[in-house]
Amino acid sequence: MKNGNLLKAVFWVLLAVCCWPGVSAPIALVAGITFGIAIGNPWSATTSTWSRRLLQASVVGLGFGMNLPELLKTGKDAFLYTAVSISFTMIVGYLLGRSFKIPRRTSTLICFGSAICGGSAIAAMAPVIKAEAEETGVALATVFTLNSIALILFPPLGHLLGMGQRQFGLWSALAIHDTSSVVGAAAAYGGLALAIGTTVKLTRALWIMPSALVAAWFTKSEGKVKVPLFIIGFIAAAAIKTALPQFNQVWNPLNGVAKQSLVVTLFLIGCGLTREVLGRTGVKPLAQGVILWAIVSVTSATAILIGWIS
């Protein structure tokens, strides 16, 4: 009992520290992962739910730091290459799944999560293809593990490759799965990288609905496809900020709170990477996810550095 109380006390202290503006996204994630693996998460289900909700609220708050015309232009420019990236990822992922002889639904979920929007895409697709809870859990664990690694590796790799902020924002949005990890990596790189990364990533996330609807049509599924409302909120916040610039003394603090709440979100996400989660991943699904992620990362970085994507 005493150990349980101490565990909870450590969790709350770390959570409170992550609310301080001096704590960056990578530090919060590493703290969360260390806590989850070394000690264990006392509220794994609760932190998973709240990390998702806090992420969505944070993304909406980031809209108060955006200019709507620039946002729409970036989204329009991103539409084509996000479509190409998603198609490429799904094809390569399908071939990898076949070669590793991974169960079809598990492989589909890993491909879909890698191609579009990580956990959100998996959650949207799972009921459509009637995936079992264990299949969904394996796909989530695989994608989640890679998200955590990407958040730590991408910023130093971006500097090593000599990427500017716009280039890195594009790369993180195209090669990292979850919105939280894209935003966290881009925020560590710079303000412009954050703006570009968030916008392109949300454009990529918009493909959840049409992709899930196509899958539902092919499988004759009656599962419901949910509208990602936080994306609508993000655009609405940018519209309000653009239409009412005289209230920037209100919008700027809201944007600042949203950025720090993302740091807290990443701590909660890190806490979810426990030994139990790693144990559920399995060698073959993890191999599929790692190889697919490496191919997409290298291909998209190359396309950006040679100017095919700008």
Region 130-140: mean pLDDT is: 74
Q: Is the pLDDT of residue 277 over 60?
A: yes
Closest-CA residue to 77 (of 268, 235, 310, 269): 310
- Contact between residue 177 and residue 146 where contact means Cβ atoms under 8 Å apart: yes
pLDDT digits (tens, 9 = 90+) for 73-112: 777 778 888 888 889 999 999 999 999 988 888 898 899 8
pLDDT of residue 167: 95
Q: Which residue has the higher pLDDT, 279 or 178?
A: 178
Percentage of the chain surpassing pLDDT 90? 21
Neighbours of 56 (CB within 10 A): 20
pLDDT digits (tens, 9 = 90+) for 190-233: 889 988 998 888 888 778 777 777 776 766 555 555 556 777 78
Q: Is the pLDDT of residue 293 over 80?
A: yes
Domain spans of the chain? 67-305
pLDDT of residue 278: 66
Task: Enumerate residues 6+ apart whose C-beta is below 8 A from 135.
Answer: 103, 105, 106, 109, 126
Region 10-33: mean pLDDT is: 83
Per the prediction, the chain carries an average pLDDT of 82
Percentage of the chain surpassing pLDDT 70? 90
Query: Per the confidence metrics, is the pTM higher than 0.85?
Result: no
